[in-house]
């Protein structure tokens, strides 16, 4: 994906935000994409030794230890590169969850600094879901301190969005990742404003996208319509792990914010359960899904970002009574234990597929902020599941 890029440069903990839109500044699309990728992560040849002493047991203290190790590394690693792109938006979702779970205020305060430095603005493309994803962190911070500046830019942009006329030639959310990026923001905005128009708009657009990309036989989403007729080397359909992870996590976030008596709630619940069951059935023995859900042999590297979003989505379902604990607890236990095998001694979380749109290959050291955000979201739900 090629997206508008915002970079937040700072000295120490002080952020000074600057924005750049490739088309406006004469930056070629490949250069913009490369800048986005470099800001979001890397995959060095020598990341150092793997971590020791991380317990896979679902005990709150053990989960918190792993979360803090990874979060501390990422917060420091991202110095000078914080921005409001979709890549970091997922990290901020995870940092805010980690702050609540661990009691460590530093993670919360880092997200707040980025928001303030960027004046609570969304990205430069007003109808592009990737540029709206950061809005959830703004609205989460607004919920704890209802200052108008924390909500006004997001509400103004969403007001324009819900007033748009759908283009039958091109869906608004034409790629499945978008179902994580924008719907959660619209659902939270209805909570913040008590105005159902945002949730209703999300509902309508979700099912337009679902109609275009959801395979009702496979119970999985195609990344976009380019993949409807493509096949993997083994002849099976192309279903990308992270793409479906975005969707399952997006469903969890929407359902958490949707009134229990909402008219279409059961449609969301049904799709959530279908995807959850399918994903669980596709879990490899080591607990970590591969980049291709139906052709793991051709993509043998464990893939952490999809796995972490699946773990978050499944554990959320157990915690909220949507999934049977006895059936799904072993799935998330295996997933968490598997993910811990990819934490390095420094706190780097490896085996995260770089930015892309389909299954791909990468180094074991590959670490990107959205995968860390997903890991922290998963850990937060698992800590809640563990009880103590």
Q: Which of 93, 104, 177, 224 is catalytic?
A: 177
Which among 122, 17, 103, 12 is positioned nearest to 64, based on CA atoms? 103
Which among 222, 185, 220 is positioned nearest to 205, based on CA atoms? 185
User: 177 an active-site residue?
Assistant: yes
Give the three-state DSSP class for 5.
strand
Q: What does the DSSP assignment read for 141-185?
A: HHHHS--HHHHHHHHHHHHHHHTSPPBTTB-TT-STTHHHHSHHH
Which among 41, 62, 51, 54 is positioned nearest to 379, based on CA atoms? 62
**Cα 57 to Cα 61: distance, rounded to the nearest angstrom:** 10
As given in the structure block, the two tokens for residue 238 are: 């192309």
Counting every residue, how long is the chain?
Answer: 388
Contacts of 243 (CB under 8 A, 6+ apart): 175, 176, 177, 221, 222, 223, 306, 357
Vertex 46, ends 41 and 52: CA angle to 5°? 90
As given in the structure block, the two tokens for residue 48 are: 């150092």
Which secondary structure element, helix H or strand E, spans residue 107, and what is its range?
helix 105-117
Report the catalytic residues. 177
């Amino acid at each position: 994906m090629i997206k508008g890029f915002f970079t937040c440069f700072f000295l120490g903990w002080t952020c000074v935000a600057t924005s750049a839109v490739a088309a406006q500044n004469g930056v070629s699309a490949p250069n913009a994409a490369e800048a986005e990728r470099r800001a979001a992560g890397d995959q060095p040849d020598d990341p150092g030794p793997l971590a020791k002493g991380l317990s896979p047991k679902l005990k709150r203290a053990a989960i918190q230890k792993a979360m803090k190790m990874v979060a501390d590394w990422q917060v420091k690693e991202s110095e000078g590169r914080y921005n409001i792109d979709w890549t970091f938006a997922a990290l901020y979702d995870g940092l805010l969850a980690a702050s609540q779970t661990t009691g460590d205020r530093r993670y919360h305060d880092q997200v707040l600094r980025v928001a303030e430095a960027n004046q609570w603005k969304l990205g430069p493309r007003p109808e592009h879901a990737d540029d709206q994803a950061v809005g959830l962190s703004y609205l989460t911070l607004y919920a704890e301190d209802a200052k108008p500046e924390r909500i006004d830019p997001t509400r103004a942009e969403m007001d324009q969005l819900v007033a748009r006329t759908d283009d039958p030639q091109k869906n608004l959310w034409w790629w499945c990742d978008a179902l994580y990026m924008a719907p959660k923001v619209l659902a939270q905005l209805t909570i913040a404003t008590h105005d159902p128009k945002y949730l209703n708009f999300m509902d309508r657009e979700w099912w337009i996208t679902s109609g275009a990309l959801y395979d009702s036989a496979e119970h999985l989403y195609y990344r976009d319509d380019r993949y409807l007729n493509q096949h993997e080397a083994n002849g099976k359909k192309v279903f990308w792990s992270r793409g479906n992870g975005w969707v399952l996590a997006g469903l969890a976030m929407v359902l958490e914010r949707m009134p229990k008596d909402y008219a279409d709630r059961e449609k969301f619940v049904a799709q959530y359960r279908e995807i959850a069951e399918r994903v669980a059935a596709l879990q490899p023995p080591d607990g970590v899904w591969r980049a291709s859900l139906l052709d793991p042999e051709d993509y043998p590297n464990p893939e952490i970002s999809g796995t972490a979003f699946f773990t978050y989505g499944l554990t959320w379902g157990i915690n909220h009574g949507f999934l049977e604990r006895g059936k799904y607890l072993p799935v998330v236990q295996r997933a968490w234990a598997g993910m811990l095998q990819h934490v390095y001694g420094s706190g780097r979380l490896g085996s995260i597929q770089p930015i892309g749109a389909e299954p791909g290959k990468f180094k074991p050291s590959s670490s990107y902020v959205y995968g860390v955000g997903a890991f922290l979201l998963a850990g937060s739900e698992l800590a809640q599941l563990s009880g103590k």
